[in-house]
Each structure stands twice: as structure tokens, then as C-alpha cells.
Amino acid sequence: MNLWIVLQVFVLILGLCLGSFLNVCIARMPDDRSVVSPPSHCPHCGSGIAWYDNIPILSWLLLRARCRSCGNGIAATYPLIEAATGLLVLLCWRQAIPGVEALDAAHIALFAYHATFVCMLVALTFIDLDHYIIPDEFSIYAVPVGVLGALGIGLLAPELAPSWKQALVGALVGGGFLLAVAGVYWLIRREEGIGLGDVKLLAMIGSFLGAFPALFLVMLLSSIIGSIVGIGHIVLRGRGLRTAIPFGPFLALGALVTLFFGDVLVRLLLLGLPGVMS
């Protein structure tokens, strides 16, 4: 086994553990409970979870999705969130660090920057799905993290990430654009079409990905995915029903696709554009 593979296995395990922590954030943050204390416990019987019953994915499988103390079911979303976070963090590593020769402070900082971004997107997606809220910790409070991260990476290797100025413009354009849409919607319909949570979230996404072309792609992708899911939701549930689907998860999904495939998509769009114009 060479060092490069060992490192990637280590990064995957790190991602699984981060996913396990995100499960705690998802369960506790909407109620403003601390994510550090008390330690993990069963939501049904309240008994503490020993370290050997708290190993990502593995414990859930070994316990056959049941609490050791009370036998109540443990939702499959726990291991799924761990697996998804593990794979996404590994993807961040592979994208930020193309090979062992690129293993320097700048590339590792870029990995940490993107992994932070991805973890927040995973957590807020599931919080928004369950509670229709996006915590400020993962949206507006994270904007300085996005801008300062871009500044730090820019000092180490300016070619790796959008500059801190682009990050700042991204936050302003992202937040400003959705705020304007929300304002127009309110003027026409006199009701809240886009929540302030989504406005703050797009500001955060802009601060990590920069304004152009990333924000354009995020909006395009999230609108397309959101429309497809929204139409499916109406068809399946019957018409006349007020469809309340949170928009945050679509913005998060659009941001993930843009982070990993943005360059390819922009190239495809630019290739397709002359054909559309003619």
C-alpha cells in the first residue's frame, strides 16, 4: 500500500466522523441545544451511547438499526448522512490535491476550506428539510469564514481559489440577488416566497464559490432541480395542495454540483451557447 492510498482512507474516515458530528448538529441545533454536551445519547430512552456503539455506519449495521438499551429503531438517515459526508469530504480531497506531489500547505488549506463548505451544506440541508430553517451558523455567520478562507488561500497560492474580493462580491451578489427577488415577490403577492434563510444561504455560497460564474450556475441548477421536484411533488400529492418544499436543499445541491463540476458545466454551456444563438 502506498502513502497516497493510506492518506485517502484516512480522509474518508475523517469524513465519516465529521458526518457523525453533523448528525449531532442536525438533531440539536434547531432546538438551540449544545452540540458538545451532553455526549451522544439515544433520543428514545436517553441512555448514553458507548464509543463502540458510536462508530460511523458500522455500529448502525452491527446493532441492526436498534438502540442497545431500549431496542427502539435508529433512523437510516444517520448512516446515510455519515456515508454522504465521508464521500463528499474524500471528493474534496481528490479535487483539492491532485496527487502526492501537490501535498503542501496551500492545497491542504484548500481541502479544509472546501470540506468545511461541504459539511455546512450537508447539515443545513437536513435541518431545512426537517424544520424549514437554516441556522445562521451555516449561512450568514459563515460568510466571514468564506471570505477569510479565500484570503488565507490567496496568500499561500492565489491561483487555487477565488480571491477574497471575489468571495466578498459573491456574498453581496448572492444575498442581494435573492433579497431583491424576495422583495419583488412580496410586492406582488404580499407573502413571503423566499425565506430570509435562503437569502443568507446564497450569501454564504457566494462567499465560498465567488460571484461569477459560480452563483449563476448555482441559481440555474437549483431552479431546475427545484422545479422538477416541485412538479413531481404536486403530481404525486394531487393538485390544490399548498406545496411547502424548502428551497435551501436545492441551493445546497446546486452549490455541491457547482463546486465539483462547475468548470465542466461552464465549458459545456459555453460550447452550447453559440449553437443556441445561431
CB of 125 to Zn ion, least distance (A): 26
φ/ψ bin of 109: left (φ > 0), alpha (ψ from -120 to 50), beta (otherwise): alpha
Binding mask 22-61 for Zn ion (x = CB under 5 A): --------------------x-xx----------------
CB of 190 to Zn ion, least distance (A): 47
CB of 45 to Zn ion, least distance (A): 3
CB of 56 to Zn ion, least distance (A): 19
CB of 85 to Zn ion, least distance (A): 24
In this complex, which beta carbon is closest to Zn ion, that of residue 41 or of residue 237?
41
Binding mask 70-89 for Zn ion (x = CB under 5 A): x-------------------
Q: How many chain residues are in contact with Zn ion, going by CB under 5 A?
A: 6
Which residue bears the cell 488549506?
109
Q: According to CB under 5 A, which one of 11, 26, 29, 67 is a site residue for Zn ion?
A: 67
Q: Please state, in angstroms and rounded to a whole number, the distance separating the CA atoms of residues 81 and 126.
A: 9
In this complex, which beta carbon is closest to Zn ion, that of residue 52 or of residue 141?
52
What is the three-class DSSP state of 73?
strand
In this complex, which beta carbon is closest to Zn ion, that of residue 61 or of residue 102?
61
Q: What is the longest distance spanned by two Cα atoms in the chain?
A: 68
Q: Which long-range contacts (CB under 8 A, 24 or more apart) does 174-183 make?
A: 174/202, 174/203, 174/204, 174/205, 174/206, 174/207, 174/211, 174/215, 175/199, 175/200, 175/202, 175/203, 175/206, 177/202, 177/215, 177/219, 178/202
In this complex, which beta carbon is closest to Zn ion, that of residue 55 or of residue 172?
55
Please say whether the dihedral angle defined by the alpha carbons of residues 129, 135, 137 and 142, taken in this order, is positive or negative: positive
Binding site for Zn ion (CB under 5 A): 42, 44-45, 67, 69-70
